[in-house]
Structure 1
Amino acid sequence: MAIARSFLARTSAVAVLALGLAACSSDADAPATSSTTPAAGGADTSLTDVEERGSIIVGTEGTYRPFSFHEDGAGDLTGYDVEVITAVAEEMGLEVQFEETQWDAIFAGLEAGRFDVIANQVSITPDREGSYTFSEPYTISTGVVVVPEDNTDITSFADLSGKRTAQSLTSNWKTLAEESGAQIEGVEGWAQAATLVQQGRVDATINDKLTFLDYQQQQGGDTGLKIAAETEDTSRSAFAFAQGDEALAAAVDEALATLAQDGTLTEISEKYFGADVSK
């Protein structure tokens, strides 16, 4: 499942939980140039640029379910991030133009002015905050311990000591499991880990809460699994703008605040995750 990769990029197993991103399209498909970072001492025209154009150009992956994807690989672009940024644009009186990109080049595309904003579960990290401007977060998540529904032995990370957990051997969740004293059963991803827990072949697995909620949603809620514990630290995902595009970011923040107040963010969140992950 795509979400599982999102937390693999985190630089600390507990404190820094990172979600993913995408890249820019080919030159042949390049849109009209979006706003660019103002030169030192120059005016910030990021908001007036999109208002004059009447649209906001959005960089997104298009293959990152449930955030940005095409149902069955075809059809219209959809997903949690797609619906949130579309609602933001509507609140701002703007049209939306999506530029589907690859993961590795999305920040370069933003810096080059190929689009105005990235909407693809970009986690706010100290390194990124030094290079980009961020909106207020619209997704909050934690790391979770997932166990069988009838399990009563595990209620904290400390309870994993001596237990078997299914983890990808390249993920920071494996590191957290080891730090908690667990014995590791290597797996290739979330689906395999969930199956091993369901079959009773391992006691638990640690992963991103969004991964678990999406899995529950896709399975109609009947998974035989539950969350036994969550990390205190959270991952916050937001829209990313070129450094210095403060005016556009502020306008997006205002729209997000309105959508939070009128329940739109909660409605979109519950559609994709069965819970409100926007706060």
Structure 2
Amino acid sequence: MRKGFILMFMLVLSLFLAACGSSDEGESSSNSDGGEEASDSKWSEIQEEGEIVVGTSGTLFPASYYPEDSDEMTGYDVEIMREVADRLGLELKFEEYGVDGLLSAINSGRIDAVINDMEVTKDRQEQFSFSDPYKYSYSTMIVRESDLSGIETLEDLEGKTHGGGATTVFSQIAEHFGAETKTYGNVTNDVYLRDVENGNTDFIINDYYLQSLALKALTDIEVKLHPDLKFHPTNSAIVMPKEATKMTEEINAVLQEMRDDGTLTELSKEFFGGKDASKEPEADIREIEGLDL
């Protein structure tokens, strides 16, 4: 069991970096006309078919993935979508796409929605409709256990070396504060962490929940989450066509039911090591000023 758990984490960081770092270029919405008519049409179409088709990657642990030795997809996002479809009285069909192809699949009409830990951004909101958030998170950083890599504030990142992807949100934050990013190919998660431990890099910025899970899986590496730095709050939501107002309303109503009856909390604790990502964190999360993310 532990072997499978660690192997899963060998894919976590690179996959998550790809998900959060993808450019929004080429995602412009094709829905330019129709307004309310298009909104009602999309929901009527789904009801008539009795099925909602949802895009996801199937490769993003713990949101959407296949457990080792299993051919059934699961994850926080996957199980949320299953519950939403069930409460709406709809059959659910998942279509798997690479992260870069998910949003374009909405525009082409191949799918009705996307759920894949998709961050709500200003650019995306101009092109798509989003449900209310089902996950709230923020960024933290992994540093050396012995000295916190000499980092007390984000301003101390100047001159430090960040381990990550070249075009990700996390690298943008690091470079905004004067750090240099060391980029990697398709390496395993432990390579990132050991480079911090041995001083080849100084820190790794990433999602709080994913970093917490990674450290839980790889306890032999002498790194830790920085105890004081919490920044760049994020929300994840279901993505739908821009004009799908009625569909958005229906899904939001079900998500609120799931929040009220504790279903979102239960699912989050199942997939995030007992932590409740369905609620906004109580901690004071620093917004990054002067950087358009």
Give the structure-1-normalised TM-score.
0.76
Letter in 1 for 2:277: V
Report the CA distance between 1:235 and its aligned residue: 2.2
2:254 corresponds in structure 1 to 255
- Which of 125, 142, 148 is equivalent to 2:144? 148
1:166 corresponds in structure 2 to 163
Distance 1:162 1:277, change over 3 A: same
Distance across 2 between alignment mates of 1:264 and 1:257: 10
Distance across 2 between alignment mates of 1:269 and 1:93: 23
Report the CA distance between 1:70 and its aligned residue: 1.8
Give structure 1 stretches of 5+ with no counterpart: 12-20, 22-35
- Which of 99, 123, 128 is equivalent to 1:127? 123
Q: Contact 2:129–2:242 (CA<8 Å) still a contact in 1?
A: yes
Distance across 1 between alignment mates of 2:252 and 2:218: 33
Report the CA distance between 1:250 and its aligned residue: 0.8
SS at match of 2:231: coil
Distance across 2 between alignment mates of 1:104 and 1:7: 10
Q: Contact 1:45–1:247 (CA<8 Å) still a contact in 2?
A: no
1:206 corresponds in structure 2 to 205
1:3 corresponds in structure 2 to 16
Distance across 2 between alignment mates of 1:155 and 1:85: 40
Distance across 1 between alignment mates of 2:110 and 2:164: 38
Q: Contact 1:165–1:183 (CA<8 Å) still a contact in 2?
A: yes
Q: Does 1:99 align with 2:98?
A: no
Q: How does 1:57-68 map to 2 (within 5 A)?
A: 57-68=53-64
- Which of 161, 173, 176 is equivalent to 1:176? 173
Q: Contact 2:63–2:116 (CA<8 Å) still a contact in 1?
A: yes
Report the CA distance between 1:108 and its aligned residue: 3.2
Report the CA distance between 1:204 and its aligned residue: 2.4
Distance 1:8 1:42, change over 3 A: closer
Distance 1:263 1:148, change over 3 A: farther
- Which of 73, 86, 95 is equivalent to 1:90? 86
- Which of 150, 154, 158 is equivalent to 1:157? 154
Q: Deviations over 1:147-206 (max 9, x none)?
A: 234445534212334544434444443343343344555544654221222345543222
Give 1 or 2: higher helix fraction. 2
Report the CA distance between 1:258 and its aligned residue: 1.4
CA-atom RMSD, angstroms? 3.1
Give structure 2 stretches of 5+ with no counterpart: 1-11, 280-293
Distance across 2 between alignment mates of 1:80 and 1:242: 22
Report the CA distance between 1:86 and its aligned residue: 1.0
1:17 corresponds in structure 2 to none
Task: Judge which range, 250-259 or 169-178, deviates more.
Answer: 169-178
Give the structure-2-normalised TM-score.
0.73
Q: Contact 2:163–2:192 (CA<8 Å) still a contact in 1?
A: yes
Q: Deviations over 1:119-166 (max 9, x none)?
A: 122222222222211101112222212123444553421233454443
Report the CA distance between 1:75 and its aligned residue: 0.8
SS at match of 1:78: coil
Distance 1:49 1:143, change over 3 A: same
Q: Contact 1:214–1:272 (CA<8 Å) still a contact in 2?
A: no
Distance across 1 between alignment mates of 2:178 and 2:36: 53
Q: Deviations over 1:38-64 (max 9, x none)?
A: 834526133343334333221112223
